[in-house]
Amino acid sequence: MAIEYYDSVWDAIEDTPEEALNMRLRSELMAKIADRVREWRITQTEAAHRLGITQPRLNDLLNGRINKFSLDALVNLTGPAHFRLELEIEDEKEVAV
């Protein structure tokens, strides 16, 4: 049995490269937002209010329940978390050359 190597854990467990990318982006956003909330050193209720979500929803985020968050939902939390989000798109044709 050959050993397979992947760039990301998501590449190993998701069915398509597109699904893996979506999960990678979601996990990165969740980690950044969760870190920011922990930096605030306030209660979950206060942090949830600051982010404009419910406390149970914040608890899901802090506990890494990635399947409960869409990419859109996480992007929408970056503003209240005081992050500036930029999108960089590379042309695969140019990268492959």
Residue 24 belongs to domain with CATH number? 1.10.260.40
Classify residue 27 as exposed, middle or buried by CB count within 10 Å of its CB (0-12, 13-18, 19+).
Answer: middle
Residue 86 neighbours by CB distance under 10 Å: 5
Which residue range is the domain that position 64 belongs to?
9-96
- 4 inside domain: no
pLDDT value of residue 11: 60
Q: Is 2 a member of any domain? A: no
Backbone angles phi, psi at 60, to 5 degrees: -60, -40
pTM: predicted TM-score of the whole model, two decimal places: 0.83
Q: What string of pLDDT tens digits covers the 97 residues of the chain?
A: 788 777 777 666 767 888 999 999 999 999 999 999 999 999 999 999 999 999 999 999 999 999 999 999 999 999 999 999 999 998 887 765 5
Domain-embedded: residue 13: yes
Query: Could you tell me the sign of the dihedral formed by the alpha carbons of 58, 60, 63, 64, in that order?
Result: negative
| Count: domains in the chain | 1
Task: Of 66, 56, 59, 68, give the one whose Cα is nearest residue 37.
Answer: 59
